[in-house]
Structure 1
């Protein structure tokens, strides 16, 4: 992956960042681009066929390039598509490439930030508006902020517990040179920051970011042919789910922002792999806002429903605890260039499972789990195992 950066802070284009990340993935595997048989490119804010423009910087070999867009789950969608090509025997080596060049400021209500009536997430925001009204605050912060209010009212979750998520992830990012931010903040400082939509403050919200990430997905016979077993991390199981009636039936923002589909994806992965959350050592999950980390603890089965605030407060999700969640700093501190996010999670877990994560290394990490969601909706859960 590239370093994730504040939009407009570096003079580069999306094809430059894609070349940097894709070239690094090829170099890591010790292969050249002419061995790549297909490319899956993920992005949300660039024009059609931007994947071709990005991939052409790596080589002009004529291989198929597929462009995917699944909101904030775009990177993991690219990874899953690549895995399906390899798992189905279509290809032996596929490059999953995600990138985003964004604008400063909060995201709008859809990929174009425009008219809510025609937005792909109009139904989701309609649920929110019916329960909470619609205010003049950034819409994504608003829907997740209202989910946080519901969680507080329903389960007694506190603002300090929400802030503890952000404090943990900012603290983790201090050891990640690829993170957009490396500042450490206390719970008190996070609570005192500017409110974006109550109870979420600025330091509990993921920023807009520029950046790219990439992963090579290869077959077993490719590994044998190239002698790459010592570099390989296995995708043990992977699942994508979308919204069901459960997402909308309750009229709750907790459900409409993705907890049901995250839970369903996790259950599919556990069943397919024969592993459970108790077997996982390190987790990279979609903390677009601090509350979503708490909701995801519950969806993944890390605690019972309503107990996620107590879980983060206990220290169970940081170094020395039961799991280390978001050692990269997560979206809140590492950054969130939409098309790259899911693939950056895969990169972080690969380094962790290889023992190559430096100062943020999770000791003895053998199994990792990635969770990436996009409103609209898509949830992708990936279970990874080291060699």
Structure 2
């Protein structure tokens, strides 16, 4: 398997649905930015993987055609909230296997206002199993959107298991806003206090509105190439993908433990595979972009990714080990909570942030002494993708 180099990345500023361009315009901007960053034209790209959740079939082609019609294969990808990373996963495989030397992964989303909802009511839902488990554990809660029910319930279960004050979750929102203040691509950059987070409208369990990621529109893209292609075309080779893993649910996801229901085991397994493949430990990593769709999931992810031991997240947060000056900087971009979460774009936006960090191009968000960077993106239904990037040379 060949080393896969990230030759270029790009994204557009994320925005709320009321202020967004259409998905094809968003995608065009991100793709052009990634191509320009790589220093190539579209005709050098041999394959493309387009990620989006809410859109008609072949929306990926429609978006890419705004950049050019080169006749290459375009594969559309939908893996819920991990869609962008799933497109990246496929692009990496294509390059690593030698099937192609230059591949584009891009993701976009034009979301509607309000909570996520299912659009097909005439067929079995991918979340029927999830609803059955959640209802059995915490009862029926008509009118509460499915994602807050799952992730709010998981947070409550964690607090009960380890005796943590649910107010600790609010500190994640405060950190997210503080980091996002330095990110020109983020939606929410105004500071908030723990008191303001806790006083915002109650959604479910420990979750208040300011602890839930907003519906967002945006796009991101990455150009992946082989080292041979990079050398032949004079492209940069300073950032590579050291390891990557994708996992899906096992029966344990539905055993009644709500933390497993929202993907704890998928994340832990993918992370373990990545660490073993790369021969590194969590302690070697200085910066992480993880899937903080809700404050509760950021806390769960700390432990699933091995950043801190099981049941120790409260101390990890209290000691400031999740931010600048601590052990590892989590979500320097502001994360999904503050940067925004356009489902198909999130994984590629995480990729862009970490590539900038490894290059030393993150500006006021720059983390010191970054040689390894970890990405975590999860979609219920389910798929978890963990990617480790390394600084080369």
Give me the TM-score of the superposition, normalised by structure 1. 0.96
Taking the aligned partners of 1:169 and 1:116, their CA distance within structure 2 comes to 39
The partner residue of 1:6 within 10, 16, 25 is 16
The equivalent residue for 2:242 is 236
Residues 1:223 and 2:236 aligned together: no
Instruction: Please give the per-residue CA displacement for 1:319-372, whole angstroms capped at 9, x wherever unaligned.
Output: 000000000000000000000001100000000100000111101111100000
Structure 1 residue 276: Cα displacement: 1.4
Residues 1:57 and 2:66 aligned together: yes
Is the 1:195–1:202 contact (alpha carbons within 8 Å) kept by the matching residues of 2?
yes
The equivalent residue for 1:145 is 152
Taking the aligned partners of 1:247 and 1:312, their CA distance within structure 2 comes to 26
Distance 1:140 1:61, change over 3 A: same
Taking the aligned partners of 2:50 and 2:163, their CA distance within structure 1 comes to 42
The partner residue of 2:27 within 18, 25, 36 is 18
The equivalent residue for 1:282 is 287
Query: Partner of 1:229: helix, strand, or coil?
Result: coil
The equivalent residue for 2:162 is 155
Taking the aligned partners of 1:292 and 1:261, their CA distance within structure 2 comes to 13
Taking the aligned partners of 1:313 and 1:132, their CA distance within structure 2 comes to 29
The equivalent residue for 2:101 is 92
Instruction: Please give the per-residue CA displacement for 1:62-111, whole angstroms capped at 9, x wherever unaligned.
Output: 00000000000000000000000000001010000100001000012x4x
Is the 2:167–2:206 contact (alpha carbons within 8 Å) kept by the matching residues of 1?
no
Taking the aligned partners of 1:29 and 1:238, their CA distance within structure 2 comes to 21
Structure 1 residue 116: Cα displacement: 9.8
Is the 2:212–2:295 contact (alpha carbons within 8 Å) kept by the matching residues of 1?
yes
Instruction: Please give the per-residue CA displacement for 1:160-191, whole angstroms capped at 9, x wherever unaligned.
Output: 21011111111100100000111111111111
Mapping of residues 145-224 of structure 1, within 5 Å: 145-224=152-231
Residues 1:312 and 2:322 aligned together: no
Is the 2:38–2:236 contact (alpha carbons within 8 Å) kept by the matching residues of 1?
no
Residues 1:83 and 2:92 aligned together: yes
The equivalent residue for 1:272 is 277
The partner residue of 1:255 within 248, 251, 260 is 260
The equivalent residue for 1:134 is 140
Taking the aligned partners of 1:373 and 1:263, their CA distance within structure 2 comes to 11
Is the 2:156–2:166 contact (alpha carbons within 8 Å) kept by the matching residues of 1?
no
Taking the aligned partners of 1:117 and 1:157, their CA distance within structure 2 comes to 40
Structure 1 residue 210: Cα displacement: 0.6
Residues 1:118 and 2:121 aligned together: no
Structure 1 residue 309: Cα displacement: 2.2
CA RMSD across the alignment: 1.2
The equivalent residue for 1:386 is 391
The partner residue of 2:38 within 9, 23, 29 is 29
Taking the aligned partners of 1:117 and 1:189, their CA distance within structure 2 comes to 41
The partner residue of 1:340 within 336, 340, 345 is 345
Query: Partner of 2:337: helix, strand, or coil?
Result: helix
Structure 1 residue 266: Cα displacement: 0.3
Q: Which runs of 5+ in 2 are unaligned?
A: 1-10
Distance 1:18 1:277, change over 3 A: same
Instruction: Please give the per-residue CA displacement for 1:273-297, whole angstroms capped at 9, x wherever unaligned.
Output: 1011111110000000001011111
Is the 2:27–2:220 contact (alpha carbons within 8 Å) kept by the matching residues of 1?
yes
The equivalent residue for 2:382 is 377
Instruction: Please give the per-residue CA displacement for 1:131-160, whole angstroms capped at 9, x wherever unaligned.
Output: 001212121111110111111111112122
Give me the TM-score of the superposition, normalised by structure 2. 0.95
Is the 2:12–2:219 contact (alpha carbons within 8 Å) kept by the matching residues of 1?
yes
Structure 1 residue 226: Cα displacement: 2.0
Taking the aligned partners of 2:390 and 2:268, their CA distance within structure 1 comes to 20
Structure 1 residue 115: Cα displacement: 3.8
The partner residue of 1:41 within 50, 56, 64 is 50
Is the 1:116–1:122 contact (alpha carbons within 8 Å) kept by the matching residues of 2?
no
The equivalent residue for 2:4 is none
Taking the aligned partners of 1:27 and 1:229, their CA distance within structure 2 comes to 12
Structure 1 residue 246: Cα displacement: 1.6
